[in-house]
Amino acid sequence: MVFYRHEICAAATKDQQQNKMKGSGEMKKRSIRIGVDVGGTNTDICAIDEENGILMVYKLPSSLHDQSDAVVAGIKKIAEKYQFSGSEVRRFMHGTTVATNAILEGRGAKTALITTGGFRDLLEIGRQKRPDLYDLQADKVKTLVRRDLRFELSERMNYRGEIIRPIQEEELADVLQNIRESGAESVAVMLLNAYLNPENEERIRAAVEKELPGLFLTISSDLSKQFREYERLCGTVLNSFVGPEVKKYMQNLKSTLESIGIRNTYINHSNGG
């Protein structure tokens, strides 16, 4: 565990660091911004006092069981050393590889897929563009959803978003029962042309939330309004695969941050937002 202090701190006087209120003996409430990056080896914490520019940096080993443990432990250390409280943190910004690690290590949730009839194997078929197009011996990439956990519905929507074959309630009920018995932890829903009209996916959402309320759920029309079913399917499956892990992490992080007074939490997305 290492502390660093930026050169701009060298000229900071004791009076600057204490920030006393004018005309009173009370300490002036400071405005602190914190940025935290969690990696597989180390957790890096950077805090800045927005009034005087004092920069505080702290590094500690990442916690293996729950990465939020190292985040909060590091913040407590840096807050103690530089004497600020959680209530003085105006913004907490965080980047993490929890989702990426879950994918690379195969630690995601046991995921079931509900899709349009005839598209059960789309995850394996993919697109024509492949790394080894003419190699008959090339190994296929393992899909995130086993074939026995992919379920089809005989619904259909045309290219204008018009329902030409509605969902059959009995068929949907059978699919949900199979998912319940499978022990799946999350559900991904991708129907053909749902980006034009999410009505059928919304019906499935309502049924899943009613019959399987404890399962993490992603429907493709929530995630992407773009055409091309393979790309929507991949994104939907990925979200359901990593969703429970990320949700658990964020709930733990939020509760532990709130316990030390930090409530303004912002998460950096892969798209830069």
pLDDT, average across residues 61-69: 85
Closest CA to 34 of 4, 79, 2: 79
Least confident stretch, 22-36, 137-151, 155-169, 233-247: 22-36
pLDDT, average across residues 50-67: 89
Instruction: Give residue 18's pLDDT.
Output: 45
Distance, CA of 145 to CA of 234 (rounded, Å): 10
pLDDT at 3 over 60: no
Distance, CA of 19 to CA of 158 (rounded, Å): 66
Distance, CA of 176 to CA of 174 (rounded, Å): 5
Report residue 117's pLDDT band, with 50, 70 and 90 as the boundaries. very high
In sequence order, the β-bridge partners of residue 32 are 49, 89
Sheet architecture: strand order including 55-61: 2-5, 55-61, 42-49, 32-38, 89-96, 265-267
pLDDT, average across residues 103-121: 94
DSSP for 202-233 reads: HHHHHHHHHH-TTSEEEEHHHH---S-HHHHH
Closest CA to 178 of 121, 170, 116, 194: 170
Predicted TM-score of the model (pTM): 0.80
